[in-house]
Structure 1
Amino acid sequence: MKVGLYFGTFNPIHTGHLIIANHMAEFTDLDQVWLVVTPHNPLKKKSTLLEDHHRLEMVFLATETYDSLKPTDIEFRLPQPNYTVHTLAHLQEKFPSYEFSLIMGEDNLNSLHKWKNYDVILENHDIYVYPRINNENANEELINNHKIHKIDAPVIEISSTFIRNSIRDGKEVRPLLPQKVWEYIDHNLFYKK
């Protein structure tokens, strides 16, 4: 089974995440896409994150009707901070018959060389890259690597930061969120202040 790993804090998960994940599951050779809810990205401030279980619940609510999309909390049980190379090694050990690939935006590909043991990741895993609008600084060496697969996916420019700020400012954001995710956020009064 070929599994694409789509990492994110999903704070909150929004329709843009679902569009990309579903596109990867339906229009590439991936059998499933696992949405890996990260407890703490070493490059992000932890203080802005909702508690792990709330973000996992929102991913579950967003994906429960999709056969090929699966939420996972695999990184919750790994040492902090999480590094993708460690998560991949753990998953490969746990699911030896699965082939794991990464899913990332072009912007993340540009900083891949800064990741811990990125060369080990590239050696052992394919990377499926979806387009971003502002990507002038493309790393040509990485883009031409045979492990990198550029996917002609929809360009989505919705961000969780924008959604959080909009909720805080009292703006209507329901079209940007799966219905059950919006209800969960609204019920719990998340991102209001």
Structure 2
Amino acid sequence: MKIGLYFGTFNPIHIGHLIIANHMAEYSDLDQIWMIVTPHNPHKLKNTLLDDHHRLEMVYLATKDFPKIMPSDVEFKLPQPNYTVNTLAHLQEKHPQHEFSLIMGEDNLNSLHKWKNYEVILQNHSIYVYPRLSSGEINSQFINHPKIHRVGAPVIELSSTFIRESIKNKKNVTPMLPEKVWDYIDHNLFYKK
């Protein structure tokens, strides 16, 4: 089975994440999408993150009606800070019957050459890239790379940061979130201050 791995802190997961994941599940050759909830991205301040189990629960609530999209806590059990190359090696060892690929926005493709062991990732895995408005210049080594597949997914300019700030400022964000995710956030009073 071909599995697309969509990494994120999902703080919170929003409709933009689901649109991209569903597009990859329905319009690419990937059979399933695993939403990998990252416990702590080294580039994000830890104090802005909800606890891991809350973010995983929101991903579960958001994806349970999508049979091809699965939440994953695989990185919760790996040493921190974790690197994508380590997660891929762990998954390949645990699930040798699957072929794992990465899903990323064009903006992340621009910094791929800075990732730990990015050459190993490209040697062993395909990368499915969705468009972003603010992607900048693509590194020339990735433009026609045989392992990098551009997918004409919808351009979604919606961020979890914007949603958190909007909730803090008492704005109505319900159209931007799956209903069950909003109910969970509201019930737990998340992002209010």
SS of equivalent residue, structure 1 residue 71: strand
User: How many angstroms does 1:18 deviate by?
Assistant: 0.1
Counterpart of 1:65 in structure 2 is 65
- 1:49 equivalenced with 2:49 (yes/no): yes
Cα shift readout 1:19-43 (whole Å, capped 9, x = no counterpart): 0000000000000000000001111
Q: Matches of 2:144 and 2:101 in 1, distance apart?
A: 17
- How do 1:12-91 and structure 2 match up within 5 A? 12-91=12-91
Query: Across the two proteins, how many residue pairs are aligned to each other?
Result: 193
Q: Matches of 2:111 and 2:185 in 1, distance apart?
A: 31
- How do 1:105-120 and structure 2 match up within 5 A? 105-120=105-120
User: AA paired with 2:127?
Assistant: I
SS of equivalent residue, structure 1 residue 137: coil
CA contact (8 A) 2:25 2:69 kept: yes
User: How many angstroms does 1:138 deviate by?
Assistant: 1.5
Cα shift readout 1:62-111 (whole Å, capped 9, x = no counterpart): 00010100000000000000100000000000000100000000000000
- How do 1:1-193 and structure 2 match up within 5 A? 1-193=1-193
User: AA paired with 1:25?
Assistant: A
SS of equivalent residue, structure 2 residue 97: coil
Once the two structures are aligned, what percentage of the paired residues are identical? 73
Cα shift readout 1:97-130 (whole Å, capped 9, x = no counterpart): 1000000000000000111100000000000000
Q: Matches of 2:97 and 2:135 in 1, distance apart?
A: 35
User: How many angstroms does 1:179 deviate by?
Assistant: 0.1
Q: Matches of 2:70 and 2:143 in 1, distance apart?
A: 28
**Cα RMSD (Å) of the superposition?**
0.6
**Unpaired runs of at least 5, structure 2:** none
TM-score computed with the length of structure 1 as normaliser:
0.99
Q: Matches of 2:18 and 2:118 in 1, distance apart?
A: 26
TM-score computed with the length of structure 2 as normaliser:
0.99
